[in-house]
A and B are shown apart, each in its own frame.
Chain A
Amino acid sequence: MPVFNQSRSRIIRIIFLATFLVLTAQIFHLQVISREYKKQADINAIFAKRIYPSRGIIFDRKNKAILNNILMYDLMVTPSEVKGIDTNYFCQLMEIDTAEFNKRIKIAIIKNKAFRPSAFEELLTPQKYARMEENMWRFSNGFFLQPRPVRSYPYNSAEHILGYINEVDTSIINKSNGFYLPGDYSGRTGLEQYYEKVLMGHRGTELWIKDNFNRLVGHYQSGAFDTVAVAGRNLRTYIDVEVQQLAEKLLTTKVGAIVAIEPKTGGIIAMASGPGYNPNDLTGPFKQKNYTKMVLDVSTPLYNRAIKGQYPGGSTYKPLGALIGLDEGVITPESGYPCRGAYYECTRPIKCLEKWPGHAANLRLAIAHSCNAFFSSTIRKTIDNPKYHNPRIGLTKWKEYCTAFGYGHRLGVDIPNENGGNIPDTTAYDKEYRGQWNSCTMTGGGLGIGQDKMLVTPLQMANAICIVANKGYYYLPHFVKSIDDENVEDTALINKFRKKHAVLTHISDDAYEVVISGMEDVTEVGTAAYIPKIPGINICAKTGTAQNKRVIDKKVVELKDHSLFVCFAPREDPKIAVSVIIENGGFGSTWAGPMAYLLIEKYLTDSLRADRLKEVDRIAATNLMPSYLTREQFKADSIRAFEWFRMTNDSSYIDKYTYEKIDDSLLPKRQTPLPAEKKKNTIAAVAIIDDKNFRKKSSFATSS
């Protein structure tokens, strides 16, 4: 039989072939040419889980852990598995209501989908954890507790030194060149920040396969591409945590700072700043709340005054002034000054605390009695040194000495954000006096007694005393003695602290001896003589009382003097140098001196005598918070409440600051420098509120 249309069989084959070629081309495009789908598939199916190592621990000089890691627990929920649990009981245990429960479940679903666990509540308080742990079997459908390492401070101490860690923000991520990823934590201040690289260790990564519901189903390629997490390394420091705790206790309800350094090594034994805070407040569940509270506090508990506070050095500068004068040859140990209660040689008389003749008969006596006239004359002689014939050169030379003593620049301690203080030079005076100045200009301002333009930090004061105690050399003040398993990078990091700076060894030992003797006389017969002695320990000290002013409500107000004290002990073999400053505390020997004595006794004898413990309690119980803080807080809060009202129209905060309903407890207490009329000031605060918008919206506009 003839086969009709046989040629069509070929056409059909061609159609088949052509179609298959089209399919092949598309498959080739998808699989070989395009790279996009591979990426998409990885995004779909691979989840990079970061494994965080535990951060390094920080130990004090007696190997006590002052910064440690503890486990806290997150309560996790997998919304899709929550079935048949007693929600009421659950809410009761968690101290929430059912609406809040539903809200959190919803948020969890939005965040991570219903099939993947997300945090129901992060970092349970110990009470909640205990309750949940006990009842977990009731809620095992969908809930579980996940441990999470958290920083903890067993001694509730050394907050300003140690710093805190927090989740990285965008600016840190951008600056780090991709090193940090969202969700990482990094040290923010203190040792946590300075030694971040050492403490954090190395992150590990685990690649997991996830399925279409975002559930993790297993390791990707059996973990072939995973990297291991390496734990952070520990720091050994010079801190003596008991001395540190004592320092903090002494600073309770005071504004000020204490620094104690071991002169022979530059190791910082204690560094406290008041007001402080409990470092454990910045870990755990209430971290953010506490942080906000601290930021809004005008007494700035987060501010480390020991390295950032810049104060007039006051009389604590005098031993340095004496050493400079001796080395420059403008005075001798036998030099005296006929002081009659003031220095009259420049335009403005500089008063002296002592009036009886002979209290500045020689250098030792002048230091012991802190004669202002003697040291004013000394700095004039230093600047007008006949060697140089020019006060400019004299002043420059003087500044060189001060710089060598570590004043006027950042020392480079191993915690960040240090301030440098200020030592004036010729340009500063040229600017202010248009080049028309002489040695009397600054002497009259009080440069010879550590005031005028001189500003120093408590750390610099302590360091300068170390130089005196060491007779000319020092090590950069620092905390970290060694790093566990120290590597080359670490050595580079801390090597500068191991270098001896012999800056002022050219000053003769005789000069040091006479100044140190003068400082010992301070505690024997001088300004600090009435502070009870520590048996068997010879302390060399210098008190200081610095005048200070502050602008309060647009008026310059003379406040109570700062109380300053520097010392080292024992004289024969200096083991500790201390500087103390109590803002508006009055005389140096009233508050700062006794505090320094207590620290020395605690450090050198490792304990305190019974009557000294009472003294500690007495000092701790004394409230020396400057009264202007109440006023400042009131102003800051009311202005913020107004800003809030302006933005949200919510008057709940501002109500208590309004003129009529004013809450008495919020008003500043009456005090000496307080401007006369209380009423006027309150109106000033409310006056800011008084603008057009406010009048339209506000119900109490009439009251202002």
Chain B
Amino acid sequence: MNERNPTISKGIDWTLAWIYLLLVGIGITAIFAVTYKEGNPVLQSFLGFKTDYSKQFYFFLASGVIGVFILLTDSKFFTATANLWYAFGIFLLLLVFPFHSSVKGTESIIRFGGFQFQPAEFCKICVCLALAKYLSRPDTDFTKVRSQLIAAGIVLFPAALTLMQSETGLALVYFSFFIVMYREGLPSTILVIGFSLAGLVVATLLVEKNLLALILTGIAFLFIYFMGRQTRRRRFILFNVILLWLICVGVQRFGVPFAFKHVLKLYQVERIYSTVGKEVPKEYVEAHQRELEVQTGKKKDPDYNVKQSKIAIGSGGFAGKGLLRSTQTRYGFVPEQRTDFIFDTIGEGFGFIGSIVMLGIYLILLFRIVTMAERQRSVFSRCYAYGVAAVFFFHLTINIGMTIGLAPVIGIPLPFISYGGTSLLTFTILLFILIRLDADRQMVLR
């Protein structure tokens, strides 16, 4: 720390910084446990950049350097350039279409020399900044529908682009920004309607078609019966109820089947059904006949990953088997072990206790961020903080949820733990911008 910039450490939220270091440390250890082969010299392979844990270690060093640079940056820089970043992010996303290289079925990766770069991952930061910027504009009145639509547009446009690169998981992450909007005054009815719709879709998967239609009709009739007196007085209630009923049945009878037949890919349908633990109905499979024909080779069990993942976590028991004594995670039974299913390593190695500690650390992280958000004077900083919390929350829930069979398997990483340079870098930048903004919370309003 020198004279000109005596405040690099001043105002920094150390709790967050320690949690960050702790999580990255756990992550490297977990990757070590997965990929370490008995007999390898530990220190040598750690520094050799050959093994995954060594690579992750160097990614961490690189991320750390960038993190320090962010801390050195003036916090005004982020407010000033937020829209530029957004434009840059969109540009990168668009760049993928002509220049992508196909790796493991996704079309979202740009290869640059020996490095791979995934704009869809990086773009989260840009969206987070841009949304905060838009919401903090003095002339934005978020109670107006128009502003709400624009905000939704900011979020959903990159989501759509990501979806077009067949990265369903990363596209879904953008929906987490609705939490920010909710905090900033998005009417809760919209969220309620959203959740109800989601509930309806899930119900469609679980309950037989006609039975569900009957149930919905039954609910509508009960509603009209109990609201009988008011209905007679005010006709539009009746009208609304019937409209709602029509929409529900419409979604359930036509909307969902349409989406499953023509919008989603067969493997996505299979994943969704495997999450609720049901077989894919024949009509959906038949609708994807052409896709089936393209699929060559033997058919894989769509449930296999989740099954193996549950076995790995479940076999950990209460206290776990010990880091290098795990059998399921160390001997390759769970596919995508280092990246999407890294939580299995903790579950198997450290058991229920380890899992709970892990969840606890994440919960502390989220609560800390929310606390920080609420102490900001500037709307920008608050919105940005909520954005970070929302992104982390979504990643955590879906990632851990899919390893224990509660969420469909969409490939999104566990923040700070999963192997992968882009993801570690993205989360580091997200977090460090927040720390920078928070450190300057006493400064002028933005």
Contact = CB atoms under 8 A, between A and B. Distances in A.
A492 interface: no
Interface string A182-212: 0000000000000000000000000001111
A211 B331 contact: yes
Given A23-B397, A41-B315, A9 B370 contact: yes
Contact of B311 (A17, A40, A221): A40
Interface in A22-67: 22-24, 26-28, 30-32, 34, 36-38, 40-42, 44-46
A341 B404 CA distance: 101
A212 B305 CA distance: 12
Nearest to A220: B327
B356 A27 contact: yes
Contacts of B374: 3, 6, 9
Interface string A157-185: 00000000000000000000000000000
A102 interface: no
A213 B333 CA distance: 9
Nearest to B373: A9
B183 interface: yes
Nearest to B351: A31
A126 interface: no
Given A4-B185, A37-B311, A38-B315, A28 B352 contact: yes
Nearest to A211: B331
B311 A44 contact: yes
B366 interface: yes
A32 B318 contact: yes
Interface centre among B331, B355, B397, B400 (most CB of A within 10 A): B331
Contacts of A9: 183, 370, 373-374
B327 A24 contact: no
A286 interface: no
B38 interface: yes
A5 B185 contact: yes
B219 interface: no
B124 interface: no
A37 B310 contact: yes
Contact of B331 (A17, A32, A42, A45): A45
A12 interface: yes
A402 to B, nearest CB: 68
Interface in B179-216: 179, 182-185
B259 interface: no
B327 A31 contact: no
Given A13-B367, A23-B406, A37-B310, A31 B316 contact: yes
A19 interface: yes
B302 interface: no
Nearest to B334: A212
B314 A31 contact: yes
B182 A8 contact: yes
Interface centre among B310, B312, B314, B389 (most CB of A within 10 A): B314
A31 B347 contact: yes
**Chain B interface main SS type:** helix
B117 to A, nearest CB: 30
Contacts of B389: 12
Given A41-B312, A209-B327, A221-B325, A27 B352 contact: yes
A23 B328 contact: no
A41 B184 CA distance: 47
Contact of B313 (A5, A6, A19, A37): A37
A1 interface: yes
B279 to A, nearest CB: 21
A16 B365 CA distance: 11
Given A8-B183, A19-B397, A24 B356 contact: yes
B331 A209 contact: yes
B423 to A, nearest CB: 20
A30 B393 contact: no
Nearest to A46: B327
A562 B318 CA distance: 79
A218 interface: yes
A27 B404 contact: yes
Nearest to B319: A31
Contact of B327 (A17, A22, A41): A41
Nearest to B378: A1
B43 interface: no
Contacts of A42: 315
Contact of A30 (B310, B327, B332): B310
Interface in B124-171: none
B288 interface: no
A16 B406 CA distance: 16
A445 B441 CA distance: 125
B420 interface: no
Nearest to A38: B315
Nearest to B38: A218
A44 B179 contact: no
A480 B30 CA distance: 62
Interface in B289-321: 308, 310-318
A212 B359 CA distance: 28
Contacts of A218: 38
A20 interface: yes
Contacts of B316: 31
A252 B22 CA distance: 86
A26 B401 CA distance: 9
A15 B178 CA distance: 13
A217 interface: yes
Interface centre among B312, B327, B333, B355 (most CB of A within 10 A): B327
A212 B331 contact: yes
Contacts of B315: 37-38, 40-42
B328 A34 contact: no
B363 interface: yes
A41 B311 contact: yes
B313 A30 contact: yes
Contacts of A22: 406
A569 to B, nearest CB: 70
B352 A19 contact: no
B377 interface: yes
A44 B327 contact: yes
B57 to A, nearest CB: 25
Nearest to B179: A12
A42 B312 CA distance: 10
A32 B404 CA distance: 13
A15 B366 CA distance: 11
Interface centre among A8, A24, A30, A221 (most CB of B within 10 A): A30
A16 B367 contact: yes
Interface string B9-26: 000000000000000000
B405 interface: yes
Contacts of B312: 41
A522 to B, nearest CB: 78
A20 B352 contact: no
25 contacts: A4-B185, A5-B183, A5-B184, A13-B370, A16-B393, A17-B363, A20-B363, A22-B406, A23-B359, A23-B397, A23-B400, A23-B404, A23-B406, A27-B347, A27-B355, A30-B347, A31-B347, A32-B317, A32-B318, A32-B352, A40-B314, A41-B315, A44-B327, A212-B331, A212-B333
The 8 tightest CB contacts between A and B, nearest first, are: A37-B314, A41-B315, A45-B327, A211-B331, A30-B314, A212-B332, A31-B352, A40-B311
